[in-house]
Structure 1
Amino acid sequence: MSASSPTPLRRPLWLALSLSGLLLAGCSAVGPDYQRPAVTTPAQWQTEPGWQSGQPRDTEPKGSWWTLYGDSQLNALMDLAQRQNNTLALAQSRLEQARAQTSSALGALLPRVGLQGGTSRYQTSANRPVTSYTSTNSSVQQNDYNLALTVSYEVDLSGRVRRQLEGARASEAQSQSDLENTRLLLGAQLASSYLALRGLDAEIEVLQQTLRAQRKTLDFVNARHELGSASGIDVGQQQGLLSGTEAQLQSLQDTRARFEHALATLTGQPAPTFRLSANSQLPVPPQVALGQPADLLERRPDIASAERAMAAANAQIGIASSGYYPSLTLSSLYGDDSGSLAKLFSGPSLLWSLGLSATQTLFDGGRTTAAVNVAKASYQQASANYRQAVLVAFQEVQDGLSTQAALRQSSRALQQAVASAEKVLSLSQARYQAGASSLLEVVLAQQTLLGYQRQEVQNRSQQLLTSVQLVKALGGGWQAEPGTALATQTRAP
């Protein structure tokens, strides 16, 4: 017997599978086919001269952007957070759930094949209604053994199942983008908290140096007061200045502790047992490579997530529209049934069935139309959310570029202000020691220098934080194009 001509025993099953394939091939999915919407993108960013250009290179890892800062402790904290952060673990489990839902939707495209069997012994009633007036009923005891292969298949006449698979795949891709976005946000939050803590360490170091200088000045004033060369007012002024600086130091140390606690939570550790040693050395703010604004749509995971949400919402329109079409189910059974176990697999015990059932809703009070309208409205919401995500992304990048430019300009001015304040303090101290001026002049010079020093440190810290936000806004690390030089970047001494 050739393969193209099935045996009589296999013909019912073969016919069922062939009929389901023909019906599926002749069906087209209802509802609109998804097309990614076009958005208006600027040609280039507004930047200062010296920025390096970059390109997406999506095939390359973009998650290790924090290595740009050259801080081994930051790298270690990032690795720990990637392994132990619970928010990241939650996003990973949601992705696994979405993958399982896609597998379930994919299985709906295939027939459901099962094996059923059973055995029973029963007795018929002699007083049951007669089926023939030519014979009388009698009570009979007998066995029943059956074994059969079943096949059922929902014919995807309207494309509902295929739209469900399309939506599941889009949701899976959205979950993948959400995971990448969670990883990016986690890295940005951890890097920001760590660099802010380092900025506080540097600011605390400035205050501690200032306190040492103020204590020396207080000792000098006390010595002059004991000799009668200085009044109690001078002592009180210097003591008040010292106490105020100590209060500022306590406030900074409390703020540092809060950032330390945040780092503990981000790395999956209890805050009471987490400690991070002080380090007042701030890294140089890195120069981030920039791609074209249109490339941002390929990099930002939140934009990718919003776009995949649109695709999933579009598929829901087709699923809802399938309610206008009939539901067809093809079922078949092939097996054996016998009253004797020994004769179960004999020829006369063979039984089979092949059937097609159809269900068509004639009136549902407008529920199908309402469901379609709901799906269309959900798609419009997803579309608006996608377009807004793109606009916000452009805004965040341009904000970061503008802020970086302003911070660099103010950094140069602050460095000059600190240098000038140091000279003024030195001259005022010399004048006070020579008796040419009052202590108030020294106190004011000390306060002015401390203010400029703190502003200069805060500026450097803010440059680091802004660079992190810019990396996040760009969707992760970018690779510089070959032959492109870094913009010059100076660090305050």
Structure 2
Amino acid sequence: MKSFQVQIRSAWLRAPLTGTAAAVIGLVCALSACSTLPAYTKPEVDVPDHYTSAPQAPAGWSVATPADASPRGPWWTLFNDPELDRLETRIDVSNQSVKKAVAQLQAARAMLDYQRAGYAPTVTAGIAQSRTRFSQNVLGHSLAGQTVPDYSVGVAASWEPDLFGRIKDATVNARDTVQASEADLQSVRLSMASDLATDYFDLRSLDIQKKLLDDTVAAYAASLRIVQRQFAAGGIDASAVAEARTQLDSTRTQDTDLDVQRAQLQHAIATLVGVPASSFRLPAVSASERGGGPSSPDSAAATLPQIPPGLPSQLLERRPDIAAAERRVAAANAQIGQARAAFYPDLTLSATAGLESTYFAPWLTAPSLLWSIGSQLVGTLFDGGRRDATLKGATAQYDTTVADYRQTVLVAFQQVEDNLSALQTLASEADTQQRATAAAQQALQLTMNRYQAGAVSYLDVVTSQTIALANERTSDQIEARRIDASVGLLKALGGGWDRASLTGVAAADGKTSEMSE
């Protein structure tokens, strides 16, 4: 015997409905509006009215408000350094941490598509062929002892209405996770860009100190030649020569040590821009050649931008890590809804229609028609407390994400205050150090005059030169720390990022409460 079968299952089969079927479909439509998703609100956090170390807002760059659509450009352009701008553009292209965050975002988006697919019916198709031998010793069987072939091809579709919001909750969870991944990507970009800027300015600070030490070594070498001639002429004793040689070699040691530090920073920058350290070179240039130095090209690493911090409440919208933490709270809230939905039954609607015949000749005739329609409501009566445990776990996970969110906010406020305080203190240090450096230079000049007049020994000259060099290096180091604090403040403020840039976050905030009704 040969048979050919076509099966179609569909929730939308156009067939006359009985009273029971109509009642079932009506019940489905009524329950489809229900949801087990809890109403979501952002966790409350203590937000100060102002930053304790914040200065008066100066004219210049400021963090944009949500209604301000005027472009600000990348935050690192505030330092007016073309070389830094060029390096920063390579972060998105070659940095492996950024690429990893992009891949994680793509995975989250794929999961969202997967969850959304739960709203649609499932359609399958297949072809099968078999031959069946019936036992000859089965009494009363019409096919006893016969071999029957069977050929079938079928299409099947089934649909599970989302009665209690299980699919909706999973979709909300996936959507919030996507938004958290988007914020994670921006957080990684901000972190990598700020690390690059910090390493770059530290390297440029070493270039300035290297130039200072190179010039000092040359000056000390010239002084050594002078005292050697004076010693040969019998004008001074050997101690002056020894002091000059000691000072020269000590300064050369400091000069060489800067090469080690610079190489390490250059290697770190190479890793950040995604190239092997052995193939990356960043030539040394002076501040004056870069055109970005402020008052003194030889004593400052870059232009210090004016950065008004804004209000602390704005920080909640400006930090991508805060946004990511908050979106994970929302995703955990949706997981509670999924856990609640497991306590309710699942309804499956199905229908079958097709043709079946032993022979091909009557296959397309009316007597070969077959169909069926039905529904199945299945619920778990006992599972040993598994669903209850899942719900408790989801609630605990929600509490965990709330704690993470509040901790992230606290750390963000701390970082802003730390960098504001550092900038304020370092500005004062820079003023006093500038006066100290000028006084050391004046003292050195006076000592040199007295030495040339024969009033003091060369030891006094060495002491004055050492003090002057130390003050100049300290001044350069304070300027480098001010630049680092500026980069740190821009990073702590979110780099001009805005939470509204997350895909659909405004709609998500407005509709989450509606989904729970």
Same fold (TM over 0.5): yes
Q: How far, CA to CA, are the matches of 2:362 and 2:100 in structure 1?
A: 57
Aligned 8 A contact 2:122 2:158 in 1? yes
Tell me which residue corresponds to 2:65. 56
1:82 correspondence with 2:60: no
| 1:292 alignment partner, one of 311, 318, 335 | 311
| 1:218 alignment partner, one of 224, 227, 232 | 224
Q: How far, CA to CA, are the matches of 1:114 and 1:63 in structure 2?
A: 51
Q: Deviations over 1:25-48 (max 9, x none)?
A: 424121412222232222222322
Pair 1:251–1:48, CA change in 2 (3 A)? same
Q: Deviations over 1:136-168 (max 9, x none)?
A: 655455554444432212232332111111100
Aligned 8 A contact 1:180 1:301 in 2? yes
Percent identity over paired residues: 39
Q: How far, CA to CA, are the matches of 2:384 and 2:176 in structure 1?
A: 31
- The count of aligned residue pairs is 468
Q: Deviations over 1:70-126 (max 9, x none)?
A: 111111111122201111111001101100100000001222123344444545444
Pair 1:357–1:226, CA change in 2 (3 A)? same
Q: How far, CA to CA, are the matches of 2:114 and 2:274 in structure 1?
A: 33
Aligned 8 A contact 2:173 2:331 in 1? yes
Partner SS for 2:38: coil
Tell me which residue corresponds to 1:458. 477
| 1:335 alignment partner, one of 354, 373, 391 | 354
Shift of 1:60: 6.2
Tell me which residue corresponds to 2:31. 26
1:11 correspondence with 2:15: yes
1:432-443 aligned at under 5 Å gives the runs 432-443=451-462
Q: How far, CA to CA, are the matches of 2:69 and 2:331 in structure 1?
A: 25
| 1:209 alignment partner, one of 202, 215, 222 | 215
Pair 1:372–1:73, CA change in 2 (3 A)? same
Pair 1:388–1:138, CA change in 2 (3 A)? closer
TM-score by length of 2: 0.85
1:64-463 aligned at under 5 Å gives the runs 64-130=74-140, 138-140=144-146, 142-281=148-287, 282-463=301-482
Q: Deviations over 1:359-382 (max 9, x none)?
A: 322222222111111111110010
Pair 1:345–1:10, CA change in 2 (3 A)? farther
> Which letter does structure 2 place at the counterpart of 1:149?
V
Partner SS for 2:443: helix
Q: How far, CA to CA, are the matches of 2:206 and 2:262 in structure 1?
A: 6
Pair 1:16–1:185, CA change in 2 (3 A)? farther
Q: How far, CA to CA, are the matches of 1:35 and 1:109 in structure 2?
A: 26
Q: Deviations over 1:375-422 (max 9, x none)?
A: 111100100110111111111112111111111111111111111111
Partner SS for 1:155: coil
Q: How far, CA to CA, are the matches of 1:358 and 1:259 in structure 2?
A: 66
Shift of 1:343: 3.8
Pair 1:423–1:23, CA change in 2 (3 A)? same
Pair 1:450–1:113, CA change in 2 (3 A)? same
Deviates more, 1:46-55 or 1:421-430: 46-55
Pair 1:265–1:129, CA change in 2 (3 A)? farther
Q: How far, CA to CA, are the matches of 1:341 and 1:63 in structure 2?
A: 73
Pair 1:349–1:119, CA change in 2 (3 A)? farther
Q: Deviations over 1:239-293 (max 9, x none)?
A: 1111111111111110010000001111110001111000231221111243221
Deviates more, 1:159-168 or 1:140-149: 140-149
Q: How far, CA to CA, are the matches of 1:340 and 1:435 in structure 2?
A: 128
Shift of 1:210: 1.4
Pair 1:112–1:306, CA change in 2 (3 A)? same
Q: How far, CA to CA, are the matches of 1:326 and 1:49 in structure 2?
A: 61
Partner SS for 2:47: coil
Q: How far, CA to CA, are the matches of 2:178 and 2:423 in structure 1?
A: 37
Pair 1:223–1:153, CA change in 2 (3 A)? same
Shift of 1:336: 2.2
Q: CA RMSD in A?
A: 2.6
Partner SS for 2:254: helix
Shift of 1:331: 2.5
Shift of 1:478: 7.4
Q: How far, CA to CA, are the matches of 2:245 and 2:22 in structure 1?
A: 95
Q: How far, CA to CA, are the matches of 1:25 and 1:251 in structure 2?
A: 77
Deviates more, 1:212-221 or 1:332-341: 332-341
> Which letter does structure 2 place at the counterpart of 1:23?
V
Structure 2, unaligned stretches of length 5 or more? Answer: 1-11, 288-300, 499-517
Pair 1:265–1:23, CA change in 2 (3 A)? same
Pair 1:387–1:59, CA change in 2 (3 A)? farther
TM-score by length of 1: 0.89
Partner SS for 2:371: strand
Partner SS for 1:396: helix
Q: How far, CA to CA, are the matches of 2:38 and 2:151 in structure 1?
A: 51
Tell me which residue corresponds to 1:489. none
Tell me which residue corresponds to 1:470. 489
Structure 1, unaligned stretches of length 5 or more? Answer: 1-7, 480-493
Deviates more, 1:392-401 or 1:379-388: 392-401
Aligned 8 A contact 1:148 1:336 in 2? no
Tell me which residue corresponds to 1:40. 46
Pair 1:294–1:77, CA change in 2 (3 A)? same
Partner SS for 2:157: strand
Q: How far, CA to CA, are the matches of 2:193 and 2:14 in structure 1?
A: 60
Pair 1:137–1:183, CA change in 2 (3 A)? closer
Tell me which residue corresponds to 1:488. none
Q: How far, CA to CA, are the matches of 1:12 and 1:390 in structure 2?
A: 60
Tell me which residue corresponds to 2:3. none
